[in-house]
Amino acid sequence: MSCDHPDLLPLDEALARLWAALPAPAFPEVRADRDDPAADLAAMDGVALRSEEGRAPRRLLGTLYAGDDPAAFTVTPGTAVRIMTGAALPAGADAILPVEQLREADGLIHPGETAEPGDHVRRRAGQARAGDLLLPADQAINVARTALRAWVGRPLPAPSRIRVAVASTGDELVADPAPHQIRDSNGPMLVALAHALGAEVERRPALPDDPAALAAALRNPGGARILMTSGGVSMGAHDHLPAVLKDLGAEVLFHKIRLKPGKPMLAAQLGDLLVLGLPGNPVSAYLNALLFLPVALAKLEGRALPDPWRHARLAASVKHKGDRPLLHPCRLAEGRLEPLPGKGSADLVTLAKADAFAWIDVGGLEAGVKTRYLTVV
């Protein structure tokens, strides 16, 4: 008989709660500070000329490069100006004839085609007029929007990484373990994962199974915006983190989710500190961090909600008798998910062999069925 509770929080709802709880940077609206482009510009390398003169030979007056003042030249009948992509059109010209359609002979330019007005010209204000709203306020930032802000003279401060502290918990963690003890693999694993996800990360000493030590670590985050712990969130006598957070007045966003492995997952806000309390078993800790840390980093940095899921078909059936969705380790081969014989949430050996974790619905999935999966970082 299953020991699961029917009120466990679905994964997608847990992710939504985390996203909603975290503040995002405030970004002002962006308006065009001038016409874009601010002048008629050449869209190709070639010559700027008067289209009405057809294929008549022209005398070159000179060359305009991007950034040159076009007032240096005026195109009159029988003349043209050599022009590079991005340069402003000189007065008198209404078209660009590309280099490929030109021939030079006897000191003249001979057009091989007839230009039409506006050919290969980016017209002034073709993208935006001065004062146009380009981005509403508080739009999530991305690379293109960063460039747009710089384009209109509203650059953002140099981006900084969110500082993440990592601390394993447990009296069983020692450097030279006896058979009843273990080394701390979660600490290095989570540090590496947070680094790979773009955080500024700090590994802290493992915390003992002691409420006072936990409380001291939580009260003194040391500049960290996120604290990831592993262990101490389940139902054992030494699983103190939930009670310590409650005693400190933290807002628990959720505790325990409908997912296997990773059910004991906890997220809480203690002032400005986000605590991600991960289970102690390495596969559970890894998967929970892979799911929840990118969401937290994105919201705090002002980016859009990330979607970690990809889709592929199973190369073999996966049976699943539990009543929680399962993330099953797989290899990716030729675009198909090949299930590995996992041995549970403590199976670090299989985690190290996996390329992905496939979402398996309650009851299992047959070979050939398309399902979503997480890529291993």
267 and 346 belong to one structural domain: no
22 and 170 belong to one structural domain: yes
For position 69, which CATH number holds?
Answer: 2.170.190.11
Instruction: Write down the pLDDT at residue 86.
Output: 97
Domain end position, chosen among 301, 331, 347: 301
Beta strands in 24-107 (DSSP E): 30-31, 41-42, 46-49, 59-64, 79-83, 95-98, 102-105
Half-sphere exposure of 157 (CA within 13 A, CB side): 7
Domain with 71, as residue range(s), is 41-122
The distance from CA 271 to its chain's CA centroid, rounded to whole angstroms, is 25
What is the DSSP pairing of strand 79-83 with strand 59-64? parallel
Mean pLDDT of each 10-residue bin along the chain, 377 residues long: 66 97 95 97 98 97 97 98 98 97 93 96 97 96 94 90 92 80 87 97 89 91 94 74 94 96 96 95 96 98 96 97 94 97 90 97 96 97
Q: Tell me whether residue 4 is in a domain.
A: no
136 and 107 belong to one structural domain: no
Instruction: Write down the pLDDT at residue 1.
Output: 35
Closest CA to 351 of 302, 291, 283, 301: 283
Q: Which helix (H) or strand (E) holds 257?
A: strand 257-258
The residue written with tokens 């000179």 in the block is: 62
The model carries a pTM of 0.88
- Do the beta carbons of residue 116 and residue 55 sit within 8 Å? no
Tokens of 12: 């997608």
Rounded to an integer, what distance in angstroms lies between the CA atom of residue 101 and that of residue 103? Answer: 7
270 and 322 belong to one structural domain: no
Q: Tell me whether residue 3 is in a domain.
A: no
Instruction: Write down the pLDDT at residue 2.
Output: 44
271 and 331 belong to one structural domain: no
Tokens of 43: 């869209």
208 and 95 belong to one structural domain: no
336 and 361 belong to one structural domain: yes
Query: First vs last Cα of the chain: how many Å apart?
Result: 35
360 and 290 belong to one structural domain: no
Closest CA to 326 of 305, 342, 315, 312: 342
For position 181, which CATH number holds?
Answer: 3.40.980.10
